[in-house]
Amino acid sequence: MSPTEMISQENYEPGICKIDPWLKPFAPAIKRRLESYKKWVKEINQNEGGYDKFSRGYERFGLNVLPNGDIIYREWAPNAVAASLIGEFNDWDRSKHPMKKDSFGVWEVHIPAKNGIPTIPHNTKIKISMTTSEGECIDRLPAWIKRVTQDLNVSLAYDAIFWNPPQKYQWKNNSPKKPTSLRIYEAHVGISTNEGRVGTYNEFTDNVLKRIKDLGYNAIQLMAIMEHAYYASFGYQVTSFFGVSSRYGTPEELMRLIDTAHGMGLYVLLDVVHSHACKNVLDGLNMFDGSDHCYFHEGGKGRHDLWDSRLFNYGHWEVLRFLLSNLRFFMEEYRFDGFRFDGVTSMMYHHHGIGTGFSGGYHEYFGDTVDEEGVIYLMLANDMLHKLYPRIITVSEDVSGMPGLCLPVEEGGIGFDYRLAMAIPDMWIKLLKEQRDDDWDMGNICWTLTNRRHMEKTIAYAESHDQALVGDKTLAFWLMDKEMYTHMSDMTPLTPIIDRGLALHKMIRLLTHGLGGEGYLNFEGNEFGHPEWLDFPRAGNNNSFHYARRQWNVVDDDLLRYKYLNEFDKAMQHLEEQYGWLSSPQAYISLKHNENKLVAFERGNLLWIFNFHPTQSFADYKIGTEWAGKYSIALNTDRKIFGGHDRIDESISYHSQPHEWDGRKNYIQVYIPCRVALVLSHC
């Protein structure tokens, strides 16, 4: 490097520091990250031929069938001193198919075809048998295996399956256009049935996709797809990273689900777990080659104390190949449209977020507590995905508020498209648990909903799967509790508790949708106030499926009040599709009146008015607006079809007056009943 280049490098200021000048004192740390990232990219380009080849590890590792029917199996297991492929095809005989090891610790065996037909039959069991450097003989499931199954009549452990169906899935639909306003329906295939059992890919395709489309969502986030040994882990204890859960059906049936969703114009995101791995040995990656440190850090650094799981060594070449190839595999093989990365906080900090609060001080994001290797991996993953798939969407689950998380890597960011607004559901639950409606602070609510980093997109949500799990309550359950069992029928009196619950359930979701971010998320069933909690079969509930299902029957029953909440959610999503407020600039809030419990703001060419007061309605209330003209009602939470009282005449138009009010150039006067929200369009 020339002296001129060195001076230029020293004076270089990452783009993130120009966006947020408060980051300038931390520019050296940001530049160090960038240099580490660039070093990895350079080495990948020089040694592997770039992202494209490096991230196709699944075409080299694992079991791959050649055009002539031969099978080549490769596995990285540096601690092993001997290895062989065993299975039903060779009567589990360790002497029949020994493997050879190269200087990088990669084992390989070539299995010739018989008359052009693979020697290993489709849908038969296999394992890799190894001898460790300590002389121990161990059997493992191949790390890159694409299908594993479980027979509980035989063992809790999974079996590796050689999956090579004679008929490959024929894709019918192209991927849809990338949505500008992201409305995500978070779903779990296994619980998506009324019945007390595990649901299937086919049932989800045939029964649930049409519900999602009808509601107006444009993306699905699928949970618990990567194979996990323990169903009750909600999919977050992954054992086979390249296998899709066999509980729900075959790989081809998942392909059909995604293909059908694409035909409906729906993006499909995978909830990907690269933050940790299940500690299982017999059917997981733990102790894969007999060592403590094959894919993971050794000792305490490689263990998550709270999750009781193993932590990846993101600084190792082969671990990077494995994880980046895992992302590429799901994009290529299953045609996912993006990922929601779970547990990003754990990946970015040595303390993994355990027992640590984040004050928002920038020193917390660039000090010794930051796991630079984890951060660099996320930068590489996002960079690779966005370069290879410009239409991809990546979402981060992070509670720390890391600056630049959703800015491009080349600007010093980490490269995600969106971050989840995890403080919003916490706020709503805290309000419902601890405060009377009269004590709600409109200013604090609006501040939490709008407190997000400039130019970094956020996905807002009132509640997700976290709030639905046993031990917590959904918003509907906090609002209506035991009366959901007795008074959700139109044949019963509308009690004050149910009336309040229906009204606030709609208003909370609408305010979150309008103010909270550049995307919106809902967990399946919560849109209609799903009764009860979510609890998977486990010893503590006698392995019951009673709470591990979605009771679609209650929303389909025309006599029950769940239908009102469902209709409102549908109207809200379709209105966003029409006006696109999620892709509009952040709202201008003109009114936050604590005594009257009123909020008003402008966003997406719409005027939003909320009256959270439990008893006080207001006639001819002045609402400031920047736009002159005639206003009409686009959405009214008090409509009968939404379980309201029809107190507003929607045939009336509202005409602005050219006088300043609440800092806006004009005002209109409206009747706004208690616990009602209005969204007005203008012309």
Catalytically active residues are 342, 397
**For 1-70, where are the E strands, in sequence order?**
62-65
CA nearest to 528, candidates 484, 579, 472: 484
Joined together, the tokens standing for residue 134 give: 């300590």
Number of neighbouring beta carbons within 10 Å of residue 637: 27
Helix axes of 423-434 and 496-515: crossing angle, nearest 10 degrees? 160
Which residues are 654's β-sheet partners?
Answer: 631
459 in Cβ contact with 418 (< 8 Å): yes
Side-by-side strand order, sheet with 106-111 = 62-65, 71-76, 106-111, 100-101
How does DSSP classify residue 142? Answer: -
Joined together, the tokens standing for residue 584 give: 């509009």
How does DSSP classify residue 424? Answer: H
54 in Cβ contact with 48 (< 8 Å): yes
For residue 96, what are the contacts with CB-CB under 8 A and spacing of at least 6?
Answer: 84, 86, 90
347 in Cβ contact with 371 (< 8 Å): yes
Number of neighbouring beta carbons within 10 Å of residue 124: 15
C-alpha distances in Å from residue 646, one per residue of 1, 430, 600: 73, 30, 21
For residue 454, what are the contacts with CB-CB under 8 A and spacing of at least 6?
Answer: 19, 20
In angstroms, the CA 370 to CA 368 distance is 5
The separation between CA 184 and the C-alpha centre of its own chain, rounded to angstroms, equals 9
563 in Cβ contact with 259 (< 8 Å): no
In angstroms, the CA 559 to CA 565 distance is 13
**CA angle at 152 for the pair 146 and 156, rounded to the nearest 5°:** 70
**For 77-218, where are the E strands, in sequence order?**
80-87, 100-101, 106-111, 124-132, 137-140, 148-150, 158-162, 182-188
Number of neighbouring beta carbons within 10 Å of residue 315: 16
CA nearest to 341, candidates 404, 280, 271: 271
CA nearest to 520, candidates 586, 581, 472: 581
User: Counting runs of H as helices and runs of E as strands, what totals does the chain give?
Assistant: 17, 29
147 in Cβ contact with 120 (< 8 Å): no
CA nearest to 271, candidates 224, 322, 228, 335: 224
In angstroms, the CA 515 to CA 497 distance is 26
In angstroms, the CA 521 to CA 503 distance is 20
Q: Is the dihedral of CA 243, 245, 249, 253 positive or negative?
A: negative
